[in-house]
Amino acid sequence: MLIMADDSVNRSKDGDSHKILVVDDEVGIRRGCERVLRSQGHRVLSAENGEKGLGILRQEPDMDLVLVDLRMPGMDGFDFLLQAREIVLETVFIMITAYATIESAVEATKRGAYDFIAKPFAPDDLLRLVNRALERVRLIRERNFLDAERSQRMLELATEKSQFRTVIDCMADGVMVCNAEQVLVLYNPAALKTLSCARTIQTPLEINQVLECEELVKMISHVSNHKKRLSNEVRISLGPEERWVLANVAPVVDVASGQFRGTVTVLRDISEAKRLEHVKAQFVNMIAHELRAPLAAVDGYLSVMEKGYVQDREKQSEIITRSKQRIQAVLDLVGDLLDVSRMEAGAIQREIIPQRIDSILHEVVDLMQPLANQNQIGLEVQVSERLPLIHADREELVRLFSNLLSNAIKYNNSNGSVRVRAEQDKQCVKVSVVDTGIGISKEGLSKLFSEFFREKRAETRGIQGAGLGLSIVKNIVDFYHGRIEVQSELGKGSVFTVYLPLRQSEFPADDSV
């Protein structure tokens, strides 16, 4: 039974109200506990057996403390503890028993009880035990709250790290992160591609063991030592496949402590920009030369005529003819430049209709005949009968074969020949331009269709041209999904073969079925 105390019993230290359940088959114990605990401001519920106590816990799962009798009819305190633990997780249990033994205390602890109190007990003893138990409840809930908050923070951190990693991996620029010891700790796939590294790098690894580019290693080292940002264009490979990157290396400093953490390196591949810059320089030099020479010649001819140095009519006619030829060369160059510009901009207007290759080839040969006669070159055309029609723009086909025949004539030997053959080859019309000219070197073949490329040899020194004709040819053939092949040997001539695909309806019937 509960021994009553006087009114000097103190309230709980924090004065907070808690929810407490008393489960005991003795009415006196339940009422005594209720009176003492309510005097402290707590909300007290009671049950006379274990089954009712479990029912209350299901309805009130936020119960702070349960006082339960060890010996009760039906369900005893041990069985109650086992089932109650499955209902509530943060509730603290105190056993009430008239049989306080070491064995029962050990068993109660195993079942999840915090402590026990022996009957009869004084209110002061009950309150001291209840206050300790409620403090434990507070600590348990605070711990669980901190654990939940920590788990949430870890989840948010993991999510943020995953998002950061995704952003880094999706960047087109290469990114490398080094710590304060210049050890690589993070990189993205773009960095591997830019630096031509292996598919993966085993991190952590010192940056000088990862990079073969000494200049880039020095930049990272300089930033690590001086804590100042650097930006520079760096060549990372040599040879025909020369590659350049714009490297930005920045120090990473902790804002709060001012401590140096490492470096971040961002690499942007500028190889294409460098190539275009080189091509632009070549273009400017070439245009300056190609325009200056004929214009200077025409200016000289006009000066001679203006000052009256040439009075002979035949000589005047010859000068006028040469001037017109020089001006025509300039016009041809400007026309080629405009064609290349329109092709690259996709601004060419085409009228794609069925075209007869034989008609176009004879037209081109007629156009090139004066140039062939001037260079003492024989022209011959061989076209198979009943060639299927090609769906294309007529002007483009004329430009395509005009450029091929023009080159075959200009780069031919005196008294040489050019033969044009056209025939059907399976699903294509095959047009070959065969010359007996000076030929092309193996190195020249690899660059043949590049813009502004001209093979510089003694035999080509006097031949005018900007190196755009074959580039235009390649663009036209590619537009019609065809292909062009070249066979050449120095001093033995060249063979340019164009394959233009037919439409499905133009394919010949298969008689083998």
Sheet order of strands, 260-269 included:
205-206, 183-187, 174-179, 260-269, 243-253, 230-237
Work out the angle between the directed axes of helices 77-84 and 50-59 (0-180°, nearest 10).
20
SS3 content of the chain, % helix, strand, coil (to 5): 45, 20, 30
Strand partners, 245: 234, 269
Helix residue spans in 118-186 (DSSP H): 123-170
Tell me which architecture the domain covering 277-344 has in CATH. Orthogonal Bundle (1.10)
Listed by start position, the domains of the chain span 19-145, 171-269, 277-344, 352-506
Taking the CA atoms of the chain, what radius of gyration do you get in angstroms?
48
Residue 131 CA to residue 343 CA, distance in Å, equals: 89
Residue tagged 């001679």 (tokens): 304
User: What is the longest distance spanned by two Cα atoms in the chain?
Assistant: 149
CATH number of 19-145: 3.40.50.2300
Distances 449 to 326, 414, 441, 472 between C-alpha atoms, Å: 25, 25, 14, 8
Q: Which CATH number fits domain 352-506: 1.10.10.1100, 3.40.50.360, 3.30.565.10, 3.40.50.2020?
A: 3.30.565.10
Q: Are 480 and 368 in contact (CB under 8 A)?
A: no
Assign residue 493 a region: left if phi > 0, alpha if psi is -120 to 50, beta otherwise? left
**HEC string for 417-470:** EEEEEEEEECCEEEEEEEECCCCCCHHHHHCCCCCCCCCCCHHHCCCCCCCCHH
Looking at the domain covering 171-269, what would its CATH class be?
Answer: alpha beta
Per-residue pLDDT tens listing for the chain (513 residues): 554 444 434 444 444 689 999 999 889 888 999 999 999 999 999 999 989 999 999 999 889 999 998 888 888 888 898 889 888 888 999 988 877 677 777 777 777 788 888 888 888 989 999 999 999 889 888 888 888 888 888 777 777 777 777 878 888 888 989 999 988 888 888 888 877 664 556 667 788 888 888 889 899 999 999 989 999 988 887 556 778 889 999 999 988 888 899 999 999 988 888 887 777 776 677 666 666 767 777 778 788 777 777 777 777 787 788 787 777 767 766 766 666 666 665 656 678 889 898 899 999 899 888 888 888 889 888 888 788 998 988 888 988 998 899 888 888 888 889 999 999 988 899 999 999 888 888 888 888 877 666 677 666 665 666 667 788 888 889 888 899 999 988 888 899 999 999 875 555 544 433
